[in-house]
Amino acid sequence: MKKKLLERFSQYIAYATTSDETSASYPSTAAQLVFGDFLVEELKKLGLTEVKKDEYGYVTATLPANTDKVLPTIGFIAHFDTAPDMPGIAKPRIINNYDGKDIMLDAETNTALTLADFPELKEYVGQTLLTTDGKTLLGADDKAGIAEIVCAMEYLMAHSEIKHGKIRVGFTPDEEIGKGVLHFDVKGFGCDFAYTMDGGAVGELEYENFNAAAATIKVQGRNIHPGYAKNKMVNSQLIAMEFNALLPEFQRPQYTQDYEGFYLLIRMEGTVENSTLTYIIRDHDRKLFEEKKQYMLTVTDFLNQKYGNRVTCDIKDQYYNMREKIEPVFHVVEIAEEAIKEAGVEPKVMPIRGGTDGANLSFKGLPCPNIFAGGHNFHGKYEYVPLESMEKAVEVIVNIAKIVGER
C-alpha cells in the first residue's frame, strides 16, 4: 500500500494545479482541468463506474455496492488545487527511516525542518517522510487525500469480502481560494453523507470549522507635491496603517489557538493617492464572528469621521461553521471515530482552524465531516507528510465502508 500511495502521490504532485484567487474563470486555472482529465482516465482504468468530469472541472465516480442490503450511499471528497501561496514541487524528497534529527531542505537558504520549530517530528521516527525541496510547497493539501481515496477504492475492489453499499468519490478544484464547491451538484452526487479527506496529522477528525469572511479596505488619499503639501496632502498609506493599528493586536493569528478567532491582513498595496488592505476574518462562534465584522465597520466609520469619508469597507462571507449541520446527524462523526480506532489510531476530535469543502457541502445539505490526510505545515516550504499516516487514512476509508456495510 505504501508503494502505491507513493507512486500515486508522486504522479499527482507532478501536475501544477495552483489555484488563482484573482481569476474570473471557474476553475480558476486551466491546469486544474488537465489534472482532472488525468484523474478521469485513472478512475476508468481502475474500473469505477459513472466516471465523469463536468463543465466546472468536478471529477466524480462510483464504486457500486457489492451487497443487496439497503445501505446509505457515502462519499469521499478531496480537492486537487494547491494553495497560491507558493508554487508546488514536481517531485517529493523522500526521507526513509527518519532518524529523528533536523532535516535540511535547502542548504543554500538554510531552510530546515527542525525539532525546535516542529517538535511533532519526533512522533515519526522510523517512518518515511515526504518533504519539499525548501523552495516550494509539497501539495499534500490535498493530493494526499486524493491518493488515499483512490487507493482505498482500489483496495475495496480487490477485497470483495468487505461488503459495502454504493460509494461515491468526488475531486474538486479551487478549494484553496474558498470556491471549492461553488458549483458542486450535491443532488447529482447522491450521497446520504460524506467525508472530506483534507485534515492534518494522523488521527484528526473535525466537524467544526471557522465562520469565515473576507474584507477589502480601500482608502482614497490626496497626492500633492511634498514641497507644497502642508494642509493639503492626505497620505492613504498612513490611514491604512492606522486602520490596521485599530484592530486588536491580540486577535492576530500568531496569538490565537483552539476556538479563538482572528483578523489576518493578507495583502497590502498602496501609494499616497490610493491604498488597499485585504483581510480574512475568522471565528468559530457565530456571535463573535458577527461582532468582528461589525468592529471593522465601526473602525471605518471612525476614520471617515476623522478624515472625511475616505475609507470603504467591503465584507463578504465565505463559509460558516458546519457544526450546526453535523450535530443533528452526529452518527456520521461516530462512524468515523470508530473507523479511526479500528485502524489502531487514537482519534483527535478538534475544531478546524481553517475551512474545508465539507463546511459548504454541509450547508448545501450533504453532512460532511473532515478526516486527516496526514500532512503538516500546509501552504509553505516546510510542508511534509509521513507515508505511514497516508496508509492509516486508507485504512480509515476502508473501515468506514465496512462499518456502514455491516450496519
**C-alpha cell of residue 235:** 497620505
What is the signed CA dihedral for 382, 131, 398, 158, rounded to 10 degrees?
160
Strands 370-372 and 193-199: parallel
Burial bucket for residue 25 (CB in 10 Å: 0-12, 13-18, 19+): exposed
* Separation of alpha carbons 143 and 383, rounded Å: 13
In angstroms, the CA 208 to CA 159 distance is 34
d(CA 248, CA 270): 22
**Most distant CA atoms of the chain, gap in Å:** 85
Active site residue 81: yes
Reply yes or no on whether 106 is catalytic. Answer: no
Nearest to 370 by CA among 362, 358, 380: 358
Determine which one of 81, 142, 154, 206 is catalytic: 81
Assign 11 to helix, strand or coil: helix
Q: Considering 42, 174, 175, 206, which one is annotated as catalytic? A: 175
Q: What residues does 112 pair with on adjacent strands?
A: 104
Distance of CA 21 to the CA centre of its chain: 14
Active site residues: 81, 175
